A = this chain, B = another copy of it.
Amino acid sequence: MSGGLDSATTLAMGKEKGFEFYALSFNYHQRHAIELEASKRVATYFNVLNHKVFDIDLEQIGGSALTDKNIDVPENTELAGIGDDIPITYVPARNTIFLSIALGWAESLGLHDIFIGANAVDYSGYPDCRPEYIQAFEDMANLATKAGVEGNGFQIHTPLISLTKSEIIKEGMRLGVDYGLTHSCYNPLENGKPCRKCDSCILREAGFIEAGSTDPLL
């Protein structure tokens, strides 16, 4: 749970289906670590059973503008082009690392359902947000684990996978998500406000407009 719009909506959708949540966030030494504050607000708002902020320094492997202070986050002024190429904000194997840790925690807790707000429509072109990837991860997870081998395997739930950003926002508003608690920007201003120039800001802003709404953060 990053504390962004997608993970907050995923939590709301899961709760509507009757799930209770152990929420997992990552301090991966991202330049937008301010999102962890948002994750705590969202966890409190949704009354999760436990919220763990797992510490893993991905600067140790490098290779992304999100973790390497020497690589700038690119600026955009429009939606066009987002998703055509895999951008420099891609963190090598990030979702795989995060899902693996979630898998370990779930197995340790005796739980079998893992939710992730991956989205393959209005996204930045990251390969690890596609349904074929999620399915392959689930297959692997059920061969990797004691629980999987013993026939009590894992399901990776991705309720947002085929929704557009505006559909996600509409669904969240229907479920009472307070998007004022969330944070999406990769490169926030010194006062914590969104930059309105990174892919994440551009996608979020366009989503609210298309949903016929306004972003409480703006």
Contact = CB atoms under 8 A, between A and B. Distances in A.
A103 B108 contact: no
A189 to B, nearest CB: 28
A101 B93 contact: yes
A194 interface: no
A54 B62 CA distance: 12
Interface in A47-66: 52, 54-58, 60-64
Helix, strand, loop or mixed for chain A's interface? helix
A150 to B, nearest CB: 8
A79 interface: no
Interface string A117-145: 00000000001101011001101110111
A130 B104 contact: no
Contacts of A92: 103-105, 107-108, 145-146
A140 B139 CA distance: 9
Contacts of A149: 86, 127
